[in-house]
């Protein structure tokens, strides 16, 4: 088994992953897009978008999903045990199987740790280890730091067949019941945390669901800023990441749609549109 890791800063558990924009003279390619399945959300003005995008104290809207580990006072790592191709997260409803997968995964990691305990909720089994670091890694300031390895419960979330390298297409199956707007919202907001985006600035502007017909639909309205090189304005993109769930089967498809783009910059800490 392989794993994907996300180091979450305390009080910022909704960060998707580490990354930042590098300065270069090359223009970035637009984000990949697909046909939307959810009606277009209400888009805030460009001024409102950049005020949130560049605000260091803003990450997600009020009421957004908060990970259970967000309240820890020290640095920590949360990750999922993956299949051998690292395409999707594994699932099982058997604790012993999940434990064996995590144990083998721990043994294969470059940074491993000793077992501390286990925990479970409706969504996953979680195995807690104290990880050892020889020097400062990422935001891990201590020589040891807790690591939380998760294995989904198939009775809740099945990701078999998902390709995590793409943002549109099959996104898995939600077996949680009742299957309602809250369930798909939690699914979308949870996976925002564990999806890698290379842009230095990435924020959730809104999170809204649309019920009706055979599907339960939910859209995350996102904003990204990509560096276009030294002395150049950033490319700002407003994106709707849509999750459409079959209300009978629980199968989920996603689409990642760029709604608009423009340029902006920070001038002495103040966001400004580039005209």
| Model pLDDT, residue 211 | 59
| Model pLDDT, residue 75 | 86
Beta strands in 175-250 (DSSP E): 201-212, 215-226, 234-246
| Model pLDDT, residue 221 | 98
Quote the domain boundaries for residue 25: 2-273
- Give the best-scoring range by mean pLDDT among 36-50, 51-65, 133-147: 51-65
Number of domains in the chain: 1
**pLDDT class of 74 with cuts at 50, 70, 90:** confident
Q: How far is CA 121 from the centre of its chain?
A: 19
Supply the mean pLDDT for the chain: 85
Over range 233-240, report the average pLDDT. 98
| Model pLDDT, residue 17 | 33
| Model pLDDT, residue 18 | 32
**pLDDT class of 77 with cuts at 50, 70, 90:** very high
pLDDT above 90 covers a percentage of the chain that reads 71
| Model pLDDT, residue 195 | 94
- Give the best-scoring range by mean pLDDT among 11-15, 111-115, 140-144: 111-115
Contacts of 97 (CB under 8 A, 6+ apart): none
Over range 102-130, report the average pLDDT. 95
Indicate if the pLDDT at residue 138 is higher than 60. no
Q: Point out the least confidently predicted range of 208-212, 226-230, 259-263.
A: 208-212
Higher pLDDT, 65 or 8: 65
Over range 67-75, report the average pLDDT. 88
| Model pLDDT, residue 145 | 87
> Got the DSSP string for 115-181?
EEEEEE-SSEEEEEEEEE-SS-BTTB-SSEEEEEEEEE-TTTEE-TT--TT-SSEEEEEE--SS-SH
Residues in the chain: 275
């Amino acid at each position: 088994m392989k794993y994907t890791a996300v180091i979450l800063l305390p009080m910022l558990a909704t960060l998707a992953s580490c990354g930042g924009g590098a300065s270069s003279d090359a223009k970035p390619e637009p984000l990949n897009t697909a046909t939307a399945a959810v009606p277009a959300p209400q888009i805030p003005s460009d001024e409102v978008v950049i005020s949130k995008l560049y605000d260091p104290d803003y990450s997600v809207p009020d009421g957004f999903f908060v990970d259970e580990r967000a309240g820890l006072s020290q640095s920590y790592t949360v990750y999922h045990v993956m299949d051998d191709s690292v395409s999707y997260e594994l699932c099982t409803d058997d604790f012993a199987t999940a434990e064996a997968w995590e144990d083998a995964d721990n043994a294969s990691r470059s940074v491993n740790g000793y077992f501390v305990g286990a925990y479970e909720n409706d969504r996953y089994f979680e195995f807690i280890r104290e990880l050892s670091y020889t020097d400062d890694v990422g935001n891990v300031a201590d020589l040891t730091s807790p690591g939380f390895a998760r294995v989904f419960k198939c009775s809740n979330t099945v990701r078999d067949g998902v390709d995590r390298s793409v943002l549109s297409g099959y996104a898995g199956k939600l077996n949680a019941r009742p299957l309602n707007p809250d369930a798909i919202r939690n699914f979308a907001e949870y996976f925002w945390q564990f999806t890698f985006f290379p842009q230095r600035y990435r924020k959730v502007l809104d999170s809204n669901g649309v019920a009706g017909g055979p599907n339960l639909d939910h859209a995350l309205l996102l904003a990204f800023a990509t560096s276009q090189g030294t002395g150049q304005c950033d490319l700002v993109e407003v994106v709707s990441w849509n999750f459409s769930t079959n209300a009978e089967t629980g199968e989920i498809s996603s689409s990642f749609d760029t709604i608009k783009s423009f340029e902006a910059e920070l001038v002495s800490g103040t966001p400004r549109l580039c005209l």
